[in-house]
Chains A and B, each alone.
Chain A
Amino acid sequence: MSDQAPSRAHAALDGELDVSQRLAFEEELRRSPELAAEYERLRALRRTIREHAPREAAPERLRARIEALAGAPPRRAAPRWPALAAGLAAAAALAGYWAGRSGGDPELAALVAGYQRAALSGQPIDVASSDRHTVKPWLAARAPLGALVLDLAEDGFPLVGGRIDIVDARPVPTLVYRRREHLISVTELPLAGAGGGAATLEGYHVVRWRDRERAYVAISDLDASELQAFVADFDKRTPR
């Protein structure tokens, strides 16, 4: 029973095909109506399951017990968009701070260098796909901190793909979105001490923010207000 070979439609749906397998599969989809129908059924089933599996929070009393176990300080709510906006409003001071110490933050310097190299080489991405279910497992297989991949196409920021950047000798997942001819990189990092803010480094706009689970750095050659709109949309769509 266990060795029954499931069809490639499952592997395709699950983003487990590599680029050449994926291309072959798409070709086959065009040729075979049966395969296309099966694939569509699988996608419909996934939609049904995900629609009806709401993200549910642990009951407060359980959370309190577990936090006590961890000796955690009283919990503060995750920073939501208003808090972030306030952070951005205070950006001028931060921008001066960062610009004045150009390269003072090695993490940001590494990410901006990654963005620059990617933009200049004409190879901004290692995996090209507008399907987050393809990009996510690709990144997860290569960086210890799996990436949260959000679909922002409706907000006018289609996903282009992803790449791996190296920060402090560790691979980190970077998503690449597009607005017109501009690219926006979003790198996800483990939560560390750093807070949020906006800055300009090497001529690129940089916005840093965080939620309960991770820290984010967005870098783009978009103008600052459009980048902030992107960050607001990203934050809005981040599951809580």
Chain B
Amino acid sequence: MTSETARLRFREVVLPHLDDGYRLAKWLSGAEADAEDIVQDAAMRALAALEGATPLKPRAWWLAVVRNAALTYMARRRPKALRYVADLDEDVAEDAPDPEAALIARDEGERVRRAIASLPSPLRETLVLREIEEFDYRAIAEATEAPIGTVMSRLARARAALAKLLGKAP
């Protein structure tokens, strides 16, 4: 049974950032229906976790919960969509949507969306947390459980790949 304290914390910690959580889930999963299920899972986890304590950085904490829920969800529902094995594989996204699709998309918004979607998960989540959720390096490191050096290198590679896909490379 969920305590009133946990519900109260949930209303303060999660509800103000619900839209951000949904957006992140959508970027990580690439599908609206999946994003709703992921946010629902994340909300259940968050409610349970809030029985114990209240986080220092509510938004960063909640988005990290969403990110973890997305990983679990993707591994269970769409195992092929997830390549999270080792850094070795990071630059190869055999399973992600075809990067070429980004080149022929009708408008710039669609091109950008597809180009980001075609990045391998570790690069994509790092880029999305930085550019869209505006996390700093340390917050990304905490959310993705990666060393800061890895965050920086993933970010650099994600940007290089994106620039190339969007024809903005030198």
Contact = CB atoms under 8 A, between A and B. Distances in A.
Chains A and B bind each other: yes
Interface of A: 1-7, 10-11, 14-16, 37-38, 41-42, 44-46, 48-50, 52-53, 55-59, 62-63, 65-67, 69-72, 136-137, 140-141, 144-146, 190-191, 212-213
Contacts of A137: 136
A146 B61 CA distance: 12
Contacts of A57: 19, 22
B15 A7 contact: no
Interface in B1-59: 4, 7, 10-12, 14-19, 21-23, 26, 32, 36, 39-40, 43-44, 47, 56-59
Size category of the binding interface on chain B: 35 or more
Interface of B: 4, 7, 10-12, 14-19, 21-23, 26, 32, 36, 39-40, 43-44, 47, 56-60, 87-88, 90-91, 108-109, 112-113, 116, 127, 130-132, 134, 136-139, 149-150, 152-157, 159, 162-163, 166, 168, 170
A146 B57 contact: yes
A70 B14 contact: yes
Nearest to A136: B134
A45 B166 CA distance: 9
Contacts of B59: 146
B32 to A, nearest CB: 8
B87 A65 contact: no
B36 A59 contact: yes
Contacts of A49: 112, 116, 127, 131-132, 162
Give the top 8 A-B pairs by smallest Cβ distance, nearest first: A6-B156, A58-B22, A137-B136, A52-B112, A52-B109, A213-B16, A144-B56, A70-B10
B136 A70 contact: no
Contact of B152 (A10, A45, A136): A10
B136 A1 contact: no
Nearest to A58: B22
Nearest to A53: B132
A44 B43 CA distance: 36
A70 B3 CA distance: 10
Given A62-B22, A70-B14, A48 B40 contact: no
